Amino acid sequence: MSLVTLTDVSKSYRRTLALRPVSLELEPGELVALAGPSGSGKSTLLMITGGWETPDTGTVTPHPPLPDLPMAELQWDHVGFVPQSIGLFDELSITDNLAFPARAREDTADREKLLETLDLAKFAHRRPAQISRGEQQRAAVARALVTNPTLVLADEPTSHQDRAHAELVLIRLRAAADAGTTVLVASHDPLLTQHADRTITLAGA
Ligand code: ADP
Ligand code: ADP
């Protein structure tokens, strides 16, 4: 049984076709690469999958162990998200950014270990403005993983990384998938295909 079923989802913004109709089954514990040219709808598909955007056509259906609720109600605890915009809380330290989604959970990943794995340990007490864009992006990856969510959606999570740190990010996402999390990653990074179980390529407009 798949974890999430997308059936014929599509989206336009005024006259711009953002996403052609696509159907997709995401299986438990797989790492799926979402490829395709710029503007082909990768971000839009992630946003629709997570319930942050409503598709014009089609449906997104979660299956157990996800609760039978609209995807929009599953964020943070069940669905971790790495936005392209990174989206950390500016007023909170990196440690507190990780504590935010994990606040009500006891079975959280070891936060210190997670920060270490992503080469962020020495920045734990800094605020986002005091670290580089690449470090902020890795912190967003850590925040998405900290609840041990069932599903992780990551939008270009290596776009601000050098090669070595891109590897760290992808190895950590791979480890999450190996531990049972379903991971969908939109990216152009050729490194991603080495870690992915399969690649879905969206056609350009
Ligand atoms: P990708 O992630 O593959 O680059 P996107 O999903 O970001 O593709 O965008 C697909 C198309 O939809 C692009 O032409 C983009 O300009 C358009 N688009 C995306 N979001 C919006 C929006 N909020 N308003 C208007 N157009 C949008
Ligand atoms: P944008 O600037 O493109 O709107 P945001 O950074 O605001 O992107 O994030 C988009 C949405 O994703 C927001 O509703 C935010 O609360 C949510 N979000 C960000 N990180 C996570 C996360 N780790 N888990 C769940 N939801 C998240």
Span 75-88, pLDDT tens digits? 988 999 999 999 99
Give ∠ CA 82-175-144 in degrees, rounded to 5.
20
Residue nearest to atom 2 of ligand 2 (CA): 85
CB distance 102 to ligand 2 below 6 Å: no
Residue nearest to atom 19 of ligand 2 (CA): 81
Q: In terms of C-beta density within 10 A (0-12 exposed, 13-18 middle, 19 or more buried), how is residue 164 classed?
A: exposed
Q: What pLDDT is recorded for position 74?
A: 93
Torsions phi, psi for 85 (to 5 deg): -80, 0
Q: Are 154 and 85 in contact (CB under 8 A)?
A: no
Cα of 195 vs centre of ligand 1, distance in Å, is 26
DSSP structural state of residue 106: S
Q: Which atom of ligand 2 is nearest to the CA of 146?
A: 23
Q: What pLDDT is recorded for position 109?
A: 52
Q: Which atom of ligand 2 is nearest to the CA of 75?
A: 25
Cα of 84 vs centre of ligand 1, distance in Å, is 12
- pLDDT tens per residue, range 99-152: 888 765 554 457 889 999 999 999 999 999 999 999 999 999 999 999 899 999
Q: What pLDDT is recorded for position 71?
A: 93
**Whole-complex ipTM:** 0.83
- pLDDT tens per residue, range 4-58: 999 999 999 998 999 999 999 999 999 999 999 999 999 999 999 999 999 999 9
Spatial separation of the C-alpha atoms in residues 150 and 105, rounded to whole Å: 14
Q: Are 161 and 134 in contact (CB under 8 A)?
A: yes
Q: What pLDDT is recorded for position 204?
A: 78
My answer on whether omega of the bond before 149 falls inside 30° of 0, hence cis, is no
CA pseudo-torsion sign 155, 188, 63, 27: negative
Spatial separation of the C-alpha atoms in residues 75 and 97, rounded to whole Å: 15
Ligand nearest 149 Cα, by number?
2
CB distance 85 to ligand 1 below 6 Å: no
For the chain, the domains span 4-201
Mean pLDDT of 166-181: 98
pTM of the predicted protein model: 0.93
Q: Which atom of ligand 2 is nearest to the CA of 144?
A: 23
Cα of 180 vs centre of ligand 1, distance in Å, is 30
CB distance 49 to ligand 1 below 6 Å: no
Q: What pLDDT is recorded for position 100?
A: 86
CB distance 143 to ligand 2 below 6 Å: yes
- pLDDT tens per residue, range 88-97: 999 999 999 9
Q: What pLDDT is recorded for position 103?
A: 62
Class of domain 4-201 (CATH, top level): alpha beta
